[in-house]
Amino acid sequence: MVTILFGAGASFGSGGCSPYAPPLGNDLFFKLNEQGGNFSKLNADIKAKFIEHGFEAGMASIEDDSRNITPMQKEMACYLSKFLIKNDNAYARLFNKLRTELSEITIATLNYDLLIEQAITINGHNVDYNADGKGVSLLKPHGSSNFLPQLPPGWNISGNVIIGGGTYFEGLDTKAVGSHDEVKKWCKNSRNSDLSPVLALYQKGKRIVINNELINNIQRKYVDAISQSNLIFVVGVKYVEHDNHIWDSLSSSNAKIVIVDPYPDDTVRWADTHSLQNVEVMKSGFESVVLQMARMIKKHIRNL
């Protein structure tokens, strides 16, 4: 089995995107700040945290109050769902070359954007977020900007204030929509005033405030996919030591692991620390190794 894990560096380095490529984590705050919404209204001390110490540290410094967290999660989902691939995008090119093999590949991404979904769809496949054999398996263990919780008819939960850690709401049906406009419309609907799309807080621990069990289940499927794979690509993923739910299963894998990253030093150190023997490094951006990746995957699947 083959698993491809994509991170922010993959989307950033995927080439043809409109209006531009999704930013890396270090630049995300600046882009959100430009939107003129809740991120732009943070006080100077918190903004300095984002700028000087990174996005995770900045988010950790925000008061843990649903009146802060919920609108910021919505703002992030609206921003990250707006990006569209062009025909020459690396995701589209890779999936086109692998169109007959995609049913034998598990795709996983830590990104909230929708570039992979678009690339799968334009290549004539359905997206299967649950890896149930109903399309191309796409696991999003940090959630996604288009995972929209649905209130049952007649329910109204507006006006709640939730302070402190944990999950705000659990067990709501979740609809995965296909477009930025649908995400934006949902976020503006007053019925959803206390809800946000199902995506992890971009901070240490990657806490899920809506439908935590849904993401726990996706994370379990991700671990299963890694454990069953004998070829794994890690493309544009920054090594984050405390993201155990992502890296522990990779650390214990016996698969061949191919690291695709123009700046792979941290990930190479991770591999060395865990004495991983079967590791190959492509010191390149995603866009420039599409053909090489496709050839390796095709050859591997042929030889299974």
Digit-coded pLDDT (tens) for 159-196: 888 898 789 999 999 999 999 999 999 999 999 999 99
Among 221, 219, 4, 13, CA closest to 101: 4
The CATH number of the domain covering residues in 2-15+84-142+214-302: 3.40.50.1220
Q: What are the boundaries of each domain within the chain?
A: 2-15+84-142+214-302, 20-83+144-211
Kindly state the average pLDDT of the residues 130-154: 96
Among 105, 156, 187, 140, CA closest to 7: 140
pTM of the predicted model as reported, rounded to 2 decimal places: 0.96
Among 72, 83, 17, CA closest to 40: 72
Count CB-CB contacts under 10 A for residue 126.
Answer: 10
The pLDDT value given to residue 157: 86
Please check the confidence at residue 111 and state whether its pLDDT lies above 80: yes
**Ramachandran sector of residue 139 (left: φ over 0; alpha: ψ -120 to 50; beta: rest):** beta
The pLDDT value given to residue 286: 98
